[in-house]
Structure 1
Amino acid sequence: MKPVVVRPFEADDLVGAARALVEVHETDGYPVEGVEDPRAWLKSDDVLAAWVAEVEGEIVGHVSLMRPQGEDAVSLWIAQSGDDEAHVAVLARLFVVQAARKHATGRSLTEAAMAYARAQDLRLVLDVMTKDAAAIRLYERLGWRRIGEATHHYGSGQSIQAVCYVSPEA
Structure 2
Amino acid sequence: MTAAAVRPFEEDDLPGAASALVEVHRSDGYPVEGVEDPRAWVRSDGVVAAWVAEAEGRIVGHVAVMRPQGEDAVSIWIEQSGDDLSGIAVLARLFVVQFARKYALGRTLTEAAMAYGRDHGLRLVLDVMSKDTAAIRLYERLGWRKIGETAHTFGSGQTITALCYVAPA
Pairing 1:89–2:89 present: yes
Q: Which residue number corresponds to residue 40 of structure 2?
A: 40
> Structure 2: which 5+ runs fail to align?
none
Offset at residue 4 of structure 1 (A): 1.2
Letter in 2 for 1:98: Q
Following the alignment from structure 1 to structure 2, what is the Cα–Cα distance between the partners of residues 21 and 65?
17
Please say if residues 61 and 97 of structure 2, whose CA atoms lie closer than 8 Å, have aligned partners that are also in contact. Answer: yes
Q: Report SS of the residue matched to 1:102.
A: helix
Q: Which residue number corresponds to residue 103 of structure 1?
A: 103
Pairing 1:141–2:146 present: no
Following the alignment from structure 1 to structure 2, what is the Cα–Cα distance between the partners of residues 50 and 146?
23
Q: Which residue number corresponds to residue 31 of structure 1?
A: 31
> How many residues are matched?
168
Letter in 2 for 1:106: G
Please say if residues 34 and 41 of structure 1, whose CA atoms lie closer than 8 Å, have aligned partners that are also in contact. Answer: no
Offset at residue 3 of structure 1 (A): 2.1
Offset at residue 168 of structure 1 (A): 0.3
Q: Which residue number corresponds to residue 8 of structure 1?
A: 8
Offset at residue 56 of structure 1 (A): 4.0
Runs of 4+ that moved beyond 3 A: none
Pairing 1:161–2:161 present: yes
Please say if residues 25 and 34 of structure 2, whose CA atoms lie closer than 8 Å, have aligned partners that are also in contact. Answer: no
Letter in 2 for 1:4: A
Letter in 1 for 2:24: V
Identity across matched positions, percent: 74
> Structure 1: which 5+ runs fail to align?
none
Following the alignment from structure 1 to structure 2, what is the Cα–Cα distance between the partners of residues 90 and 102?
26
Letter in 2 for 1:20: A
Following the alignment from structure 1 to structure 2, what is the Cα–Cα distance between the partners of residues 71 and 46?
12
Offset at residue 34 of structure 1 (A): 4.5
What is the CA RMSD across the aligned residues, in angstroms?
0.9
1:46-69, Cα deviation, whole Å (9 max, x unpaired): 000000000243001000011101
TM-score (norm 1): 0.96
Following the alignment from structure 1 to structure 2, what is the Cα–Cα distance between the partners of residues 66 and 112?
14
Letter in 2 for 1:70: G
Letter in 2 for 1:37: D
TM-score (norm 2): 0.97
Following the alignment from structure 2 to structure 1, what is the Cα–Cα distance between the partners of residues 99 and 145?
28
1:40-94, Cα deviation, whole Å (9 max, x unpaired): 1111110000000002430010000111011000000000000011000000000
Following the alignment from structure 1 to structure 2, what is the Cα–Cα distance between the partners of residues 142 and 56?
26
